[in-house]
Structure 1
Amino acid sequence: MPAAPSLPQHLPTTLAQLHEFGWRSKTVKQEISDNFTSRLAAGDELYPGIVGYDDTVLPEINIALLAQHDILFLGEKGQAKSRLMRLLATFLDDFVPYLDDAQIPLHDDPLSPITRRGKQIVAEMPADEVSIAWWPREERYAERLAPGTKFADIIGEIDPSKLAGGISMGAEEALHFGLIPRMHRGIFAMNELPELDELVQVGLFNILEERDVQIRGYPVKFDIDVMILFSANPATYNRSGKVIPQLKDRIGSVIYTHYPTERDLGISIMDQEVAPNNEVGEANTDAESTSAGPEVVVPYFMKELIEEISRAARKSKFVDHESGVSARLSIANYRTMLASAKHRALVLGESPAVPRISDLGHLYSSSLGKLELDMMGSHQMSERQVLDAVLAEAIGTVFNEYVEEHGLAEIAQIFSEGVKIEVGDMLPSSHYAELLKRVPPVWDKAFEVNASQSDAVRASCVEFVLAGLYATDRISRSQTHGRIVYEF
């Protein structure tokens, strides 16, 4: 979340000055709705960094904010649910005033206090003696992961030390408040709602319905003003007994998220998360800005392959569809591919560093653990074997698209004459350049895939075509110690 600006010097420091300043109290939802309305009318960017939701998710969020609802984001892992929740905090005011008193456990509104101490200060002290401080936007958002969360963590508990001092258990002063009461006039977000203990869910239901706190049977009435956000996976949220019906009923809006509907959208997400300062390189390539080492040039078909791996995994019968395949799989694999290309360039002294198919041999390290297998199926495949199958499918899918455009299938004919080509992630680009001198000109069609005179880019094209021919059963291959030989 963007940081709030520095506190302006002219802001009031007493209640009397606050009255003169003309500040007016708002509920947090009204505040968010008003700021959202202003930014929407001005045509401002509302959700920076969110890709692929313009026509689906974002309009639903807009309506929920205008309706001043508590919101549940429902979707599988890696669908930007947490990022969306954090972005909603950007619609808060830069600062809001509160009573600056050490005995008040939350940020009490000077014009409408809810604590006994706050009400006493405003009622009994002269306005020019009531101290005011300002709460910045960046501190008005709190987030919690449901597993392991206790009632005392987010609602509160009786403080034994205060009881020992003679304070009654039914008194407000006897309580130690949890996160939600302390976020009075702010936003509280709970991730993975179905994993929350039912007792805590009951406490949340009471806050959503009555906006008050009840601890150990002692009803301490507070008009708590907080916007509550939730995230959950549909597989667990819709399962009976995971979320109490009363809590479901009190959530104002349910927003369904999804994975990128188009491959190019997934690639845009990768570029944004991995290399936000891309520069345009040669035709159909992107040059990645790096802080050190050689320039990294990525042929677009390599980006397509990385994203297609995730898309193929989401459709695979071997992968648990209820768990989903996070966008983090593409992001992690993209980083690994770039790292492998850079490693080769540094070792061999080459520049630019260009990813190849052989670099995808290192994706096991960034993929294993991110695919949850469907254990109910009859297959006995390991996660590594599933990844191999998904990778082969992704290569075949992308390659067939290029075959239709460039007629690359003709290249398979050269292997009928006994031509063998060895590839590997640590072979220099010059190795490929020498090989291409001894094969027919039909290989020129391969370079239509990514027009370039760079040996490194051409080497990447060669590997892509060979891997595609193999994935579509046009040629065979053998593999030993990280090196692959393609032949008829």
Structure 2
Amino acid sequence: ESQILTHYPKDLETSRRITRQEARTHPDQEALVKLGGIAEELVEAIAMEARKSEYVDQKSGVSARMTITALENLVSAAERRALRHGESLTWVRMSDFWGVIPSITGKVELVYEGEQEGPFIVALNLIGKAVRNRFPSYFPAPESGRKPLGKGREEGADIPADYASVVDWFNSGHQLDLLYDLPETEYRKALDKVTGLSDLVSNYYPQVSPDEHYFLMEFVLHGLAEYSRLNKQILQHATVFGDLLSAMFQSDDSEDWEEEDEDDDF
């Protein structure tokens, strides 16, 4: 009797090179969509999280086919958005990772607990854990003052103690709705509303291009949400960021209303 053993890449960079080599992207896509290094790392990190998830059947494994299709779908999501608005060039956004979800649900076998949780929820959970895992490599983890190993940082640049100005903006009652299909100008305008967010990115990465700058701005919001500093809601057409405490109270209120409705039935 023969048994085939699945061998995973030893590190993220090796996995990333394999995915890049095997992914089938058309030259027209490559000319239209620019893919940053963090986005590629997140694709690989999702697979790594799946390979140790309690919801995923580890006997079936998580092969490179998942990351290959995930990268292809990520590029396709950005391409679709750009073509819809007649843009000749676009940069992959964190918002485009909605396109990766079918790659996860279609390539990952779940155990009973995962099926009970639901494939969509498991996919969101894996993406969230990947963001949390990679975030401290680029920015300080909100729970600590550790400095990241950010490329492009100027020597001697001040390190912000925390993310107070960004979190305070949301705590003061503001909410940010990032529609998945926002044109570039509106996308940037939406992120620029968040006080302190652009300055935070500029402090760590003063030399990056404007496209990558805005990717990092959105990346910070997702990172803060994964570290429970902001509330994040995944809707059908948008990701909504808001105040964590207010969201908790709203959740409690909605439960109270449900209980009252149940009482009214008797």
Partner in structure 1 of residue 51 of structure 2: 314
CA distance in 2, matches of 1:378, 1:487: 28
5 Å matches for 1:6-405? 194=2, 232-234=3-5, 258-274=7-23, 290-291=27-28, 294-375=31-112, 380-404=116-140, 405=148
Matched, 1:452 2:230: no
More strand by share: 1
CA distance in 1, matches of 2:170, 2:131: 20
Aligned to 1:480, which of 208, 230, 235? 235
Is the Cα contact below 8 Å between 2:192 and 2:198 reproduced in 1? no
CA distance in 2, matches of 1:450, 1:299: 16
Residue 420 of structure 1: CA displacement?
2.1
Is the Cα contact below 8 Å between 2:131 and 2:223 reproduced in 1? yes
Alignment gaps of 5+ in structure 1: 1-192, 195-231, 235-256, 276-287
SS in 1 for 2:177: strand
SS in 1 for 2:200: helix
Residue 419 of structure 1: CA displacement?
3.0
SS in 2 for 1:477: strand
| Letter matched to residue 117 of structure 2 | M
TM-score (norm 2): 0.73
Larger radius of gyration: 1
Deviation per CA, 1:375-404: give whole Å up to 9, x if none: 3x5982222222121111111111133223
Matched, 1:433 2:169: no
Deviation per CA, 1:254-282: give whole Å up to 9, x if none: xxx6201111111111111126xxxxxxx
Deviation per CA, 1:95-133: give whole Å up to 9, x if none: xxxxxxxxxxxxxxxxxxxxxxxxxxxxxxxxxxxxxxx
TM-score (norm 1): 0.42
Residue 442 of structure 1: CA displacement?
4.7
Note closer, same or farther for the CA distance 1:458–1:259 as it changes in structure 2 (3 Å cut). same
Residue 462 of structure 1: CA displacement?
2.3
| Letter matched to residue 228 of structure 2 | D
Deviation per CA, 1:138-189: give whole Å up to 9, x if none: xxxxxxxxxxxxxxxxxxxxxxxxxxxxxxxxxxxxxxxxxxxxxxxxxxxx
SS in 1 for 2:181: coil
Residue 371 of structure 1: CA displacement?
1.0
Is the Cα contact below 8 Å between 1:313 and 1:319 reproduced in 2? yes
Alignment gaps of 5+ in structure 2: 141-147, 151-158, 244-266
Partner in structure 2 of residue 186 of structure 1: none
5 Å matches for 1:412-423? 412-423=167-178
Between the two proteins, the alignment pairs up a number of residues equal to 223
Residue 301 of structure 1: CA displacement?
0.9
Higher relative contact order structure (alpha carbons within 8 Å, sequence separation ≥ 6)? 2
Note closer, same or farther for the CA distance 1:294–1:421 as it changes in structure 2 (3 Å cut). farther
Note closer, same or farther for the CA distance 1:450–1:329 as it changes in structure 2 (3 Å cut). farther
Is the Cα contact below 8 Å between 2:55 and 2:114 reproduced in 1? no
SS in 2 for 1:369: helix
| Letter matched to residue 418 of structure 1 | G
More helix by share: 2
Is the Cα contact below 8 Å between 1:320 and 1:374 reproduced in 2? yes
RMSD: 2.7
CA distance in 2, matches of 1:452, 1:320: 40
Aligned to 2:224, which of 463, 466, 469? 469
Residue 293 of structure 1: CA displacement?
7.9
Residue 451 of structure 1: CA displacement?
4.3
CA distance in 2, matches of 1:347, 1:261: 39
SS in 2 for 1:423: strand
CA distance in 1, matches of 2:107, 2:83: 29
Is the Cα contact below 8 Å between 1:333 and 1:363 reproduced in 2? yes
